[in-house]
Chain A
């Protein structure tokens, strides 16, 4: 079974400071890793993904994430936070088990609050 852990329910960052939202995963085989963002009363929006290749993945709105296989982590980062980045962030993993891709498993989500 695959799983995702987001250890922080909430992360508070001052505007302009760097931010990190943590994620660790467990999956059989090579992982497909994703970050999504959800604004109030909206569906989830794709930010970035890691499939293979460079461990540092760049995505939308200036976000990036670093894949670390030995630590089974995929932390989301941004060099300089904006108030508009405040939202609920989900990490997700998808395994590939021979016959096809598995469903995407999401973490519990982390509320990111950027203070002006």
Chain B
């Protein structure tokens, strides 16, 4: 398996623009997670899905952020409108296993810079 695939790897945009980050989880995994990493706040869980259903989105910073998982092989994280404080590395991860015992497999991340 190719692992978790994220795109784009790098995105530079201007404040106010819409940003869409994409993730393809490992086939057969039933959990999908979106994390954000910054120097100041470390790794923050934004939202996670189980069997394509959002389970906990309490980490989503505000209404400008939204995430979808239309099927088992694809998820998006959208920021509209983007702001400079959204600059971070966004990671997608997937795992398998009832009860949460399965380890997370991370993608390489999408580095977002908002000017």
Give chain B nearest CB distance to A93 CB in angstroms.
10
A-B pair count, CB < 8 Å, reads 62
> In the complex, which residue of chain B has the Cβ closest to the Cβ of A94?
B100
| Known pairs A104-B33, A108-B42; A46 contacts B100 (CB<8 A) | no
| Known pairs A44-B106, A100-B55; A106 contacts B101 (CB<8 A) | no
Give chain B nearest CB distance to A110 CB in angstroms.
11
Contact of B106 among A45, A51, A95, A105 (CB under 8 A): A45
Is A101 a contact partner of B103 (Cβ separation < 8 A)?
A: no
> In the complex, which residue of chain A has the Cβ closest to the Cβ of B92?
A43
Number of A residues near B (Cβ < 8 Å) is 24
> In the complex, which residue of chain A has the Cβ closest to the Cβ of B50?
A100
Number of B residues near A (Cβ < 8 Å) is 25
Give chain B nearest CB distance to A9 CB in angstroms.
11
CA–CA, A51 and B103, complex, Å: 10
CA–CA, A32 and B101, complex, Å: 6
> In the complex, which residue of chain A has the Cβ closest to the Cβ of B58?
A103
Is A106 a contact partner of B43 (Cβ separation < 8 A)?
A: yes
Chain B contact residues, CB within 8 Å of chain A:
4, 31, 33, 35, 42-43, 45, 48, 50, 55-56, 59, 91, 93, 98-101, 103-109
For this complex, 19 residue pairs linking A to B, each with C-beta atoms less than 8 Å apart, are A32-B101, A34-B103, A34-B104, A43-B93, A43-B106, A43-B109, A96-B99, A100-B100, A101-B50, A101-B99, A103-B45, A103-B55, A103-B56, A104-B104, A106-B35, A106-B42, A106-B45, A107-B42, A108-B42
